[in-house]
Amino acid sequence: MYQLEETLYFYLILVIPIILFGFLVLKRWKSIIQKKYISKELLETLSPDISSFKPKVKLLFLILSFLFISIGLVNPKIGTQLKTVKREGVDIVFAIDVSKSMLAEDVAPNRLEKAKRLVSQIINQLSSDRVGVIAYAATALPILPITNDYSTAKMFLQSLNTEMLSSQGTAILESIKLAKDYYDDENQTNRVLCILSDGEDHELENQNISEIVEATGITIFTIGIGTVKGAPIPIKLNNIVQSYKKDSEGEVVITKLVPKLLEGLASSSSGIYIEGKNTEEVVEIIIEKLKEMDKQEFESKQFVAYKDQFQWFIAIGLFFLCLELFVFDKKTFWVKKLNLFNE
């Protein structure tokens, strides 16, 4: 197992084709000038010590030097062993509404992108907690099971869009039912479900929220995305608004934040409801609430004891650089008899 610490330095390798191109252009230019003013035989007579092969050797050394130094700056690390690490944390599943109403732009850039940004910022502040991701509209879809791999979680998070579920609607209850299967143990006290939605769920309004939530034994945090004033749902083509979604009577649909439903879900599970306008404030409240909860001990296997390997690559790169500096364009007479450079 290995890690690459500073992958940005891989771009230094792009210097190599530039060096090679410069060498070929310079060689071509020298050849043209030589043919213009002096013949090859006369040049060999006037400059018998000039080697035709050594410049290529110097070029090779310079290229190898850049290659190894670039890899060294990336700082590859090697994991020497696999260990089982015990951690204490909270299992938090993010259920994100991907219905068409989340395309409304009453929060910038739109409700769905705002929800994804909030989750990403929360994950950035976690340390030993585990996360999972669910997407839901009229049905719920498991996106990522419980994991402590935050980079993977954020990658799956960015893939969420309103086209991933063909059936439209907002079935929060479906996401709650699906979340129950995410946790390792029904008796654990640190099961958290964080729902990010505009709260427009007409089916759940007529049901007993308290009974449904209490039966799950899950603490629910809800984050309201959008504004009470609401906004139309844009229909875009190539990222340009063509029209707005209309109802059966031809009227433009205005989708609004419904905080009452989200507040009811949170209060029924001893959770909290937060309006999602201020990202920094939302993240701070969620993290503080997680810190107050009981921590569950769990095991995870990971490669540890990563060791820096940059010094080897830097040393090899400097070695080739020194060779390039100490190899001259002149022929080496004391090895001429060995015909080392095939001259």
H/E/C letters for each residue in 275-341? ECCCHHHHHHHHHHHHHHCCCEEEEEEEEEEEEECHHHHHHHHHHHHHHHHHCCCECCHHHHHHCCC
pLDDT at 36 over 70: yes
Average pLDDT value for the chain: 83
Q: Torsions phi, psi of 231, nearest 5?
A: -165, 155
Q: Write the Ramachandran bin of 226: left for phi over 0, alpha for psi from -120 to 50, otherwise beta.
A: left
Q: Are 220 and 193 in contact (CB under 8 A)?
A: yes
Does the N-terminal peptide bond of residue 109 adopt cis geometry, omega within 30 degrees of 0? yes
Structural domains for the chain: 2-75+309-338 (no CATH), 84-300 (3.40.50.410)
Report the largest interatomic distance among the alpha carbons of the chain, rounded to a whole angstrom: 102
The neighbouring-strand residues paired with 87 are 298
Prediction pTM value? 0.62
Q: Is the pLDDT of residue 129 over 80?
A: yes
Percent of the chain with pLDDT over 70: 80
pLDDT tens figures, 205-255: 556 667 777 777 889 999 999 999 999 999 988 888 889 999 888 899 999
- The backbone region for 88, taken as left when phi is positive above 0, alpha when psi lies in -120 to 50, beta otherwise, is beta
Q: Which amino acid, residue 109?
A: P
pLDDT tens-digit series, residues 288-336 = 999 888 776 665 555 556 677 888 889 998 999 888 888 766 665 544 5
Return the pLDDT at 334.
47
Q: Band the pLDDT of 157: cuts 50, 70, 90.
A: very high
Residues forming beta bridges with residue 302, ordered by sequence position: 83
d(CA 292, CA 11): 44
CA distance linking residue 99 with residue 162, whole number of Å: 6
Query: Distance between CA 187 and CA 271 in Å, rounded?
Result: 17
Query: E strands, 162-247, where?
Result: 191-197, 219-224, 231-232, 234-237, 240-244
- pLDDT (mean) for 147-156: 91
pLDDT digits (tens, 9 = 90+) for 52-111: 677 888 888 899 998 999 998 988 887 665 566 666 788 899 999 999 999 999 999 999
Distance CA 216, CA 263 (A): 17
